[in-house]
């Protein structure tokens, strides 16, 4: 191919006349709105009126109104399932656990790391997650025991 042919096959930069530019702006605006909604849920949750069984396979795990809303908006039920999947780990304290999800820089091989801690801040679980579109850079959840249930809640609800 000649230089002229290569120049003709390149895509033009996004401009106001290029329809890709408004689409990207709309996607960015949607993501920013979602992040703001999630941060509002996290920052303004102080309790719950109901406990929700979010997955029929993990009936002994329930979540608060705020965690359910967070899972619905961020489409991160997988995170709740990940936490519940370690239920039978004998090293985890069933009375109280701290779980953090931390997104990694884009140049890493994995997208995020989920960590489970006991109440003594001893790291028990560390799982690398290959892909996620979770919009926040980090999230902390608690798990505490209530009767026969494990309750997943936000730290502000504890």
pLDDT digits (tens, 9 = 90+) for 43-75: 999 999 999 999 888 889 999 999 999 999 999
Residue 7 scores a pLDDT above 60: no
Q: What does the alpha-carbon distance between residue 37 and residue 56 come to, in Å, rounded to a whole number? A: 27
Sheet strand arrangement including 51-52: 51-52, 61-64, 149-153, 138-146, 96-103, 112-118, 123-129
pTM higher than the cut 0.85: no
Question: What percent of the chain has a predicted confidence (pLDDT) above 70?
Answer: 84
Question: Virtual CA dihedral for 58, 61, 62, 67, nearest 10 degrees?
Answer: -90
User: Was domain 12-157 assigned CATH 3.20.20.140?
Assistant: no
**Residues 126-153, mean pLDDT to the nearest whole number:** 93
Average pLDDT of the residues of the chain: 86
Res 142: pLDDT? 96
- Length of the chain in residues, anyone? 158
In the structure encoding, which two tokens stand for residue 92, read together?
Answer: 């985890």
Q: What does the alpha-carbon distance between residue 99 and residue 25 come to, in Å, rounded to a whole number? A: 33
- DSSP tag of 14: P
């Amino acid at each position: 191919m000649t230089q002229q042919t290569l120049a003709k096959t390149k895509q033009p930069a996004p401009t106001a006349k290029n329809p890709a530019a408004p689409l990207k702006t709309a996607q960015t605006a949607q993501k920013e709105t979602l992040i703001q909604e999630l941060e509002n849920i996290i920052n303004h949750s102080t309790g719950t009126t109901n406990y929700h069984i979010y997955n029929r396979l993990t009936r002994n795990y329930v979540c608060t109104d705020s965690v359910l809303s967070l899972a619905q908006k961020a489409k991160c039920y997988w995170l709740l399932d990940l936490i519940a999947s370690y239920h039978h780990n004998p090293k985890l304290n069933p009375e109280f656990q701290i779980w953090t999800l931390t997104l990694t820089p884009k140049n890493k091989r994995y997208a995020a790391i989920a960590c489970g801690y006991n109440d003594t801040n001893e790291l028990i679980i560390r799982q690398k997650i290959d892909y996620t579109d979770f919009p926040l850079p980090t999230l902390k959840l608690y798990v505490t025991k209530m009767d026969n249930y494990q309750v997943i809640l936000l730290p502000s609800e504890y």
